[in-house]
Amino acid sequence: MKTLKNLRWADSQDMKRTIVHGEMIHVGPHAFRRTHKGHAVDVQIVEVSEEESASGPLLRVVARVWRDGVEVQVDNPLFYLNAPMLVHDGTFEIVDGERVRNLVEDPQAALQQIVFDTLTMTALK
């Protein structure tokens, strides 16, 4: 695994969550395009913030989505308790004889991935 930039300072799950939420909020609103089941999917992340809950702070995301240019209804906001910030960088290492994916901190790519995964399981079924 490559050296972590920010998460290496986290000495608890709460500290990790604070770092991840801060990094993703800093990414802020933006748009991206993916393909799902042969359709062009455009996603606009409208808002990224944090909201308190009984389980602890949640990452709160408001998104809009279009499939082939037609807007699809999204049940906003989307909430994430332990959002990941590590994504596969396309490279591998051999560890104890096994091929292991290298992960890197990339809050924008991680935010896009969790939102897109959520949308494909809900609005884009």
Please report the pLDDT score of residue 80 as a whole number. 97
In sequence order, the β-bridge partners of residue 67 are 41, 70
Tens digit of each residue's pLDDT (9 = 90 or more) over 36-74: 999 999 999 999 999 999 989 999 999 999 999 999 999
Q: Cα–Cα distance between 56 and 70 in angstroms, integer? A: 36
Furthest-apart CA atoms within the chain: distance in Å: 49
In this predicted structure, the answer to whether residue 2 has a pLDDT above a threshold of 60 is no
The pTM of the full predicted model, rounded to 2 decimals, is 0.90
* Tens of pLDDT, residues 93-120: 999 999 999 999 999 999 999 999 999 9
